[in-house]
């Protein structure tokens, strides 16, 4: 099965697993997905993730979801820049998410990072998704 938007697919898998109350979401592994998961882990939205190698020479990520008082920590995870419509932002124009309670994940010239880190390093880029 071919996936046109691998990051969007992973975000949907996380969203679906949380709606069902699963502790782990499974997604095919790739470098870009791993970088997005690194940001989610660093910002405290997931417990962590591990890469599992399978027999057919493919890998997958097992993403440990995080809950607080039975409710998922990620209330909403939304893809912003899509393959059909890319959304870019200068460092001065990066929009705050939920008045600073959420984060944007950006793809910059210095790698994939959160909006706060992008402002700190004074770089703009493509807004991949918003999480709150």
pLDDT > 90: what percent of the chain? 97
Residue 41 lies in a domain: yes
Residue 50 belongs to domain spanning: 6-131
CA distances 103 to 21, 116, 117, 118, Å, are: 23, 8, 10, 11
> What is the DSSP pairing of strand 111-114 with strand 24-28?
unpaired
Q: What's the gap between Cα 126 and its chain centre?
A: 13
Residue 59 lies in a domain: yes
The model carries a pTM of 0.95
pLDDT tens digits, 2-61:
789 999 999 999 999 999 999 999 999 999 999 999 999 999 999 999 999 999 999 999
Residue 1 lies in a domain: no
**Predicted local confidence at residue 3, as pLDDT:** 86
Residue 10 lies in a domain: yes
Range with lowest mean pLDDT among 42-46, 55-59, 83-87, 120-124 = 55-59
Reference 59, options 24, 30, 23, 17; nearest CA is 30
- What CATH code is carried by the domain that includes residue 127? 3.30.1490.10
Residue 98 lies in a domain: yes
**Predicted local confidence at residue 97, as pLDDT:** 97
CA distances 80 to 5, 71, 106, Å, are: 12, 24, 10
Determine contact, residues 129/102, Cβ cutoff 8 Å: no
**Predicted local confidence at residue 1, as pLDDT:** 60
CA distance 60 to 50: 8
């Amino acid at each position: 099965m071919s996936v046109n938007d691998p990051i969007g697919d992973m975000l949907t898998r996380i969203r679906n697993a949380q709606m069902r109350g699963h502790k782990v979401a499974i997604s095919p592994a790739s470098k870009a997905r791993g970088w997005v998961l690194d940001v989610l882990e660093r910002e405290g939205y997931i417990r962590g993730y591990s890469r599992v190698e399978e027999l057919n020479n493919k890998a997958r990520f097992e993403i440990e979801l995080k809950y607080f008082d039975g409710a998922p920590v990620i209330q909403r995870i939304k893809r912003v820049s899509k393959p059909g419509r890319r959304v870019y932002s200068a460092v001065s124009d990066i929009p705050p998410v939920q008045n600073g309670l959420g984060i944007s994940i950006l793809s910059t010239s210095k790698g994939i990072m959160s909006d706060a880190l992008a402002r700190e390093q004074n770089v703009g880029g493509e807004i991949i998704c918003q999480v709150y």
